[in-house]
Amino acid sequence: MMPQPCRLAAHNRMIARAVLLSLVLLLPASIAIAGELFAIEPLADGVYAAIPHLRANCNAVIVILDDGVLVVEAEATPSAARALIDQIKKLTQKPVKYVVNTHLHSDHTQGNEAFLRTWPTGTEIISTIATRANLERQGIARWHNEILAMPQEISKLKSDLKTAASVEQRDTLLRDIMEAEDYFKELKTVHFTLPTLTFDRSLILNGGSRRVEILWLGRAHTDGDALVYLPAEKILVTGDVLHGWTPTMRDSYPYEWIDTLDAAERLEFDTVVGGHGDVMHGKARFELWKEFLRDIMQRTAAAYADGDSMEDAKQRVSEAMIPLYADRLPRFRKFIAEDVAKAYQIVNFRN
Ligand SMILES: [Zn+2]
């Protein structure tokens, strides 16, 4: 079936996002798309994971309540959020009453406006107080910086085009340029939309036949991470506190992150949906991430104590950790150097 024109536009924008991120992170662009933007995976009666086909977006979770829908995560762009909304409408006619922003990062929040435009008076965007403050203080600035950086990214693609070595490379670059321009257009039209309902430690929806607990269990991937827990269904939604790839530490508090993972593990659950990667089961991944966090901090502290510069530590710790983790943590090689840099900053700050 051919995609609808509007969906096609959304797809194009998402491809652009993926390509751009690929360029920034030097990742291969994942652009194989057939049909919908998200694979919908049933988790329990009326609860679904929406797993994006493009890495630029994040996993969402759809929870159908008695009189509405709760969605965890708002995706990277309004067009991706609209695509998610279209897919939700195929599951239920109920309106989305709640959207949870698990933390400030743009791949989880930049689509917020699409929900408010679809249900202008009826949707609350929920986050921790800290995440709303982070979006105000850092999120808006990062969005502006990305807008400022994009023309340069596009110019770089255009200059690469002039020196393309093969027809295939040229075609890829032409497509990348078109898609980058498309994404840039959307980024400029984003109406940065902040959460409308905030909480400190927990916000519990008790109203209907399903109990939903939105929890802050401590600082972790950021200082404001919200987890969403469905006790009856034994489902835990962890945002980027725990997911299927490698932890990314840019805004993190790694020592406290370990404690927060411990706190999350004390909940009773079978199914875990993180912000990225596959749906998980049980607690094995919690143990792996804690091992990774302890290890990276110890190794970086040792490198620092030996007088290594940040660049030396990045190389030394990355090289030591690749054989231990690269097979167990997807995208390890992409993120490890930046993670060591963050670990180094923390060790340096403490000394
Ligand atoms: Zn994140």
Whether the pLDDT of residue 64 is over 70: the answer is yes
> Distance from the CA of 337 to the center of ligand 1, in angstroms?
17
Report residue 107 as tokens: 């791949």
Q: How many whole angstroms from its chain centre is CA 51?
A: 11
DSSP-derived secondary structure for 99-134? EE--SS-HHHHTTHHHHHHHSTTT-EEEEEHHHHHH
Residue 178 pLDDT? 86
- Name the residue among 130, 335, 330 with its Cα closest to residue 249: 335
Can you tell me the mean pLDDT for 35-45? 93
Q: What class, spelled out in words, does domain 7-131+192-207 have in CATH?
A: alpha beta
Tokens 């709303």 appear where? Answer: 132
Spatial CB neighbours of 107, under 8 Å, sequence gap ≥ 6: 56, 57, 58, 75, 76, 275
Residue found under tokens 């919690």: 286
What pLDDT does residue 180 have?
Answer: 83
Residue 202: burial class (beta carbons within 10 Å; 0-12, 13-18, 19+):
middle
CA–centroid distance, 227 to ligand 1, in Å, is: 13
- How many residues are there in the chain? 351
State pTM to two decimals.
Answer: 0.86
d(CA 207, CA 204): 9
Q: Where does the pLDDT of residue 90 fall: very low under 50, low under 70, confident under 90, or very high at 90 and above?
A: very high
| pLDDT exceeds 90 at position 33 | no
Give distance in angstroms: CA of 223 to centre of ligand 1.
Answer: 11
Q: Rounded CA gap, 250 and 146, in Å?
A: 16
- The letter for the amino acid at 11 is H
CA of 252 to the centre of ligand 1 (A): 9
pLDDT, tens digit (0-9, with 9 covering 90-100), for 145-163: 999 999 999 999 999 999 9
Q: What separation, in Å, do the N-terminal and C-terminal C-alpha atoms of the chain show? A: 60
Q: Which two tokens stand for residue 12?
A: 């194009």
CA 8 / ligand 1 centre spacing (Å):
27
CA of 78 to the centre of ligand 1 (A): 18
Q: Is 27 helix (H, G, I), strand (E, B) or coil?
A: coil
What gap in Å lies between CA 101 and CA 260, rounded to an integer? 18
Report, as an integer, the average pLDDT of 277-306: 98
Identify residue 179 by its one-letter amino acid code.
E
| CA 105 to centroid of ligand 1, rounded, Å | 5
- Could you tell me the distance, in angstroms and rounded to a whole number, from the CA of residue 124 to the centre of ligand 1? 21
Sign, Cα dihedral of 7, 9, 13, 19 = positive
What does the pLDDT read at residue 91? 97
Ligand 1 centroid to Cα of residue 185, in Å, is 23
The answer to whether residues 250 and 223 touch, using CB atoms and an 8 Å cutoff, is no
Structure tokens at 309: 């510069």
Residue 57 · residue 14 · CB < 8 Å: yes
Query: Which of helix, strand or coil describes residue 48?
Result: strand
CA–centroid distance, residue 196 to ligand 1 (Å)? 20
Give the distance (Å) from ligand 1 centre to CA of residue 170.
Answer: 33
Q: How far is the CA of 104 from the centre of ligand 1 (A)?
A: 7
**CA–CA gap between residue 314 and residue 96 (Å, rounded):** 44
Domain ranges of the chain: 7-131+192-207, 289-350
Whole-number Å distance, alpha carbon 166 to ligand 1 midpoint, is 36
Q: Strand 47-52 and strand 96-100: pairing?
A: unpaired
Cβ pair 338, 250 in contact under 8 A? yes
- Which of residues 314 and 57 earns the better pLDDT score? 314
For ligand 1, the distance from its centroid to the CA atom of residue 1, given in whole angstroms, is 34
DSSP H or E segment with residue 322: helix 310-325
Residue 73 DSSP one-character state: -
CA–centroid distance, residue 58 to ligand 1 (Å): 9
Q: Is the pLDDT of residue 16 over 70?
A: no
Using the mean position of ligand 1's atoms as its centre, give its distance from the Cα of residue 103 in Å.
7
